[in-house]
Amino acid sequence: MTHKVKLSNLGYPRIGKNREWKQALEAFWSRSISEESFRAEMASIQLGHLRTQQEAGIELIPVNDFTFYDHMLDTAVMFGIIPDRYDYTGGAVDLDLYFAMARGNESATACEMTKWFNTNYHYIVPEIGEQQPQLTENKPLAAYRFAKSQAGIEGKPVIVGLYTFLKLSKGFPSSKLAEIADRFLPVYIQLLKELEEEGVEWVQVDEPAIVTGLTSGDIVLLKHLYQSIADAVPGLKIMLQTYFEAAEPLHELLQLPVAGLGLDFVHDGGGNLESISLLGWPKDKWLGAGIIDGRNIWRSDLDAKLQLIEKLTAFVGLDQLILQPSSSLLHVPVTVQGEDKLKGVVKQALAFANEKLAELSLIGAAIVNDQVESVATALQASRDALAAFRALPERGLQDVAEQVRGLKDLPDRRTVPFAERVHIQQQKWQLPLLPTTTIGSFPQTPEVRQARLKWRKGVWKQDRYDLFIREQIEAAIAFQEKLGLDVLVHGEFERTDMVEFFGEKLGGYLFTRNGWVQSYGSRCVKPPVIYADVAFIEPMTVKESVYAQSLTKLPVKGMLTGPVTILNWSFVRDDLSREEVANQIALALRQEVQVLENAGIEMIQVDEPAIREGLPLKTRDHQNYLDWAVKAFRISTNHVKDTTQIHTHMCYAEFNDMIDSISAMDADVISIETSRSHGELIASFEEQAYDKGIGLGVYDIHSPRIPTVEEMTSNINRALLALKPEQFWINPDCGLKTRGWEETEGALRNMVEAAAIAREKKKAVRI
């Protein structure tokens, strides 16, 4: 059937139905397969993705969305943007250098990694400096040729727009953005000219940075960039693609000389439709209408989508309309097929990448003729599935609703302010100057993973598995004592993932078998799914924490994941506000904190690594989010005794603009990643005071290299220029579960030695 509207996709999950992509990457890194075999396996995976989209009826199939690691890294490498610390003299970039930028090597640290807007995907941050860009390889052209020759697909090359690429890069002052853009513009035009000469029709230019807010200078720059591109490649149809929020000011964006504008109609808060209703839509532009949620896993309300399209077509002709997901499907799992452990009502309510493409196809068919029996039957089946799911009783528990309503009666903060608590806690704990600790997890070896798998499959009974975990905890405590750490952790050997572990023990969660998504590099996570009201059932961490504390006289931290991180790293029900779901989680964690404290665990770390990534993209929405996010954290922790020390941890995001909110969380100690960003966060503390305990991670755990004592000493000394030694803790920048024991021991030994050197140098009197 021929559709009157085109169907498009913005990007497909890279990892493969069974994580074949991850397996190939890790096999290559371990040198168990050759580069030739690696490239062949990656080509096979890529071809499968293309054919899946082709079979789903997608007409504008993205190419160049596939990558060996990250699309921002690909763009940097394609333009020869290689930091000076690497051995690079120009020309094509080999795989060893490519992966060294992502992971580091023996002679050079990895590039910074941070969150992709407000998602849980991490990108490699390009370092521009004074480098002159060159086109080392036209990767979009190679991807287009591959799709055409191997699958007969006239693909739609996807590239990161120049504006977004530079906005997300580092190594130059923001005042020089326009100057740097002009340096890159000829290379971008060269890339696009080669696509035009090849006969490419559509190019998707991703500019999500647009939705974060445009200054008048940004608008001038965008007009300059896209007018230059239009003049140079008049034969290309440029789809300027935005996502994750409303594109503003739309009247200015509609003046850009591009063939189409892609807008998100799911996560825009209604802003894009409102703007179109006010402005209308130009007759000479296509609208890429992002109507299917590219970031969550729920079946669409197809009637609502058809109503949205009806509203749009009051302003946009069907022959100007392209239907597509709201963003790349990178952020969702591949397919619901194989999820045979879920009850039918819940499974029928899910839609992963392949199912979302099927929804697009059904909507397209419904627009042509919704009276066709097959279409009408499919639409009714979708309605029935949603109705059955929405009627589940666990989605409206009365006791949970009453607890949420009772929040107004709970205390808002700790009974004693930090300035007084710090003296009480120091008297209790008697910690040395510059105390050392880790973030929580220790290596998850194959032995640990195999033991967990045997337990889950029933090969090991609970007693056998518990014994194994106790043995791992015993070894971890002895290991830490031998190294000379001051505050210990139990190692988290019983945990698969810092969110999944808690979701398995809370009411309101469900778990998929293959719901994997890429977080960074080959690191894939399987987010738990909040489908109903979240409720505390029984203690979740007490057994392991109490056992670890029984093995040592040193303090052992209880380890929890905070409410906002559990929220942001889960797929969340879409019928309640995120604030309300966060409060449900916070109330459940509040009970866990209480049982830990009652059991004698009086250092408790409630990690919030994802609090920053949930920050709305519009500045005007920041404070409201931060207010309820901070409140959720305090709900979890503000009821403890004055002597109980609350820690938290954050990593891999920009925190400079939320120091006040971090302080308002009222944690006694916070640890924040700073090593991979080369100490840039420290500058924030040089400019604004922070009055609580803080650990700025002194080395990067995501790189396999072991940092030297001198490197860590340098990081410590830099931090101590901005922070009082009495408030400074020394720790890695994140958990150690992905590292091996040998490199963990080497790095921590050097960290302890660096701490000893710093203590000897300072010899300060503690508060």
10-residue stretch averages of pLDDT, the chain, 767 residues long:
77 96 97 98 98 97 98 98 93 95 92 91 95 96 98 98 98 96 98 98 98 97 98 98 98 98 97 98 97 98 97 95 98 95 94 98 88 89 97 95 91 92 96 96 95 95 97 98 98 91 94 94 94 96 97 98 95 96 97 98 95 90 95 96 95 70 93 64 69 88 87 89 90 91 96 95 59
Pairing mode of beta strands 113-115, 122-124: antiparallel
pLDDT value of residue 654: 62
Annotated binding site for L-methionine: 439-441, 492, 607
Catalytic residue among 71, 122, 331, 702: 702
Residues at the annotated binding site for 5-methyltetrahydropteroyltri-L-glutamate? 19-22, 115, 120, 523-524, 569, 613
List all residues 6 or more positions away from 648 whose beta carbon is below 8 Å from its beta carbon: 562, 605, 606, 607, 608, 633, 665, 667, 669, 670, 671
Q: Establish whether the linkage from the previous residue to 83 is cis, with ω within 30° of 0.
A: no
Quote the tokens at residue 227: 């007018």
CA atoms within 13 A on the CB side of 494: 26
**For position 3, what pLDDT does the model report?**
47
Residue ranges of domains in the chain, CATH in brackets:
6-69+81-87+126-390 (3.20.20.210), 425-505+540-762 (3.20.20.210)
Q: Which residues are annotated as a binding site?
A: 19-22, 115, 120, 439-441, 492, 523-524, 569, 607, 613, 649, 651, 673, 734
Is there a contact between 82 and 97 (Cβ–Cβ < 8 Å)? yes
Does the annotation mark 702 as catalytic?
yes
Residues annotated in the binding site for L-homocysteine, as ranges? 439-441, 492, 607
398/394 Cα distance (integer angstroms) = 9
Tell me the C-alpha distance between 758 and 636, whole Å: 34
Contacts of 680 (CB under 8 A, 6+ apart): 674
Three-state SS for 62?
Answer: strand
pLDDT for 765: 41
- Indicate the annotated binding residues for Zn(2+): 649, 651, 673, 734
Helix axes 578-598, 398-405, angle to 10 degrees: 90
Burial class of 624 by CB neighbour count within 10 A (0 to 12, 13 to 18, 19+): exposed
Predicted local confidence at residue 386, as pLDDT: 97
Question: Which residues does 465 contact at the CB level (< 8 Å), separation at least 6?
Answer: 451, 452, 454, 455
